[in-house]
Structure formats: C-alpha cells, structure tokens
Amino acid sequence: MPPPASPARSEAQVPAGDAFTPDQLYDIERAVRYAEETSGLHFSVYVGGADSETRPFAIELLNELDDPDHTVLVYVDPAGRRLEIVTGEQAKRQLSDSSAGLAALTMQTSFATGDLTGGLVTGVQQLGTHAHQAPMLHANDEAHKL
C-alpha cells in the first residue's frame, strides 16, 4: 500500500485506499474552510498511521506545511486510536490548550461511536470557533478617536 499523502493547507488528507467518500471529504473540507474563515488561521486534517510516536509525527507534519506558525493540524490515526491537535506559534496564541482539549473530547466521542467524519467535522468547526478573533477597531481611524 502506498504511503499517505502529505498534508496540505485547507485539505483533508487521507491514506491511499480512499477511507472517505466524496461526500465525506466535501464535509471535512467545508469544515476546514469554515474554521479558516472564522479564525483567520490555516487548518489541516491528516488521517493515517504515524511513522513514529504520534505527537512528534504530528509536529513534523505541521512543520512541513506552508505556514506552520498560523496553522492548526488535526492528526487522527484511527487504527492506533490516536488523536493529536498541534498548533503553530501564532495559532497557539489564538487557541488555548483547554479549547483544543474540548474539541478533542468532542471528536473522541464521535470516533467512539464509529463516526470518524462527523467527529472531524464537528471538532474542526469547534476549533475554528474557539480560535475566533474579534475584529479590532482601528485606533488611528478618525471616526474612532476620542
């Protein structure tokens, strides 16, 4: 079996063998777009086995992306029953560990019932919502000066 595809921003990568239907991929990609639009960060989903320990492997995947500092990577190994959410430096400022933990719990609950796609969709949307940054008013805008 060929190795999994490399992760890319705004795409849900799956191992060869097409573990997801086209409709499921569409739902995951739509959740990624929503999270990116809501938070201003990049999101990537990788589903497959790790070449090594899970967390270092997920960090390695994150660092291979175009803009790792502004990225949230969701790594799932269904066979190994592993889930990692790793963030770049800027993403870490917007997404707290507790918020990522809540999203992980949401995903794990869905995964436990056999709903991999639903868990990914809900979890990624939740991550984007938690990483949302309120728009800043421009202090140098004449209309907003005191």
Q: Residue 60, CB half-sphere, CA atoms under 13 Å: how many?
A: 9
Domain 22-129: give its CATH code.
3.10.310.50
Mean pLDDT, residues 6-11: 38
pLDDT tens-place string over residues 13-72: 444 445 799 999 999 999 999 999 999 999 999 999 987 899 999 999 999 999 999 999
DSSP H or E run through 47: strand 42-47
Rounded (5°) CA angle 54-59-61: 95
Contact between 80 and 52 under an 8 Å Cβ cutoff? The reply is no
Residue 51's identity, in one-letter code, is: D
Q: Which residue has the higher pLDDT, 12 or 142?
A: 142
CA distance 2 to 5: 9
| pLDDT at 95 > cutoff 90 | yes
CA distance 5 to 7: 6
CA distance 19 to 22: 10
The predicted pLDDT at position 10 comes to 40
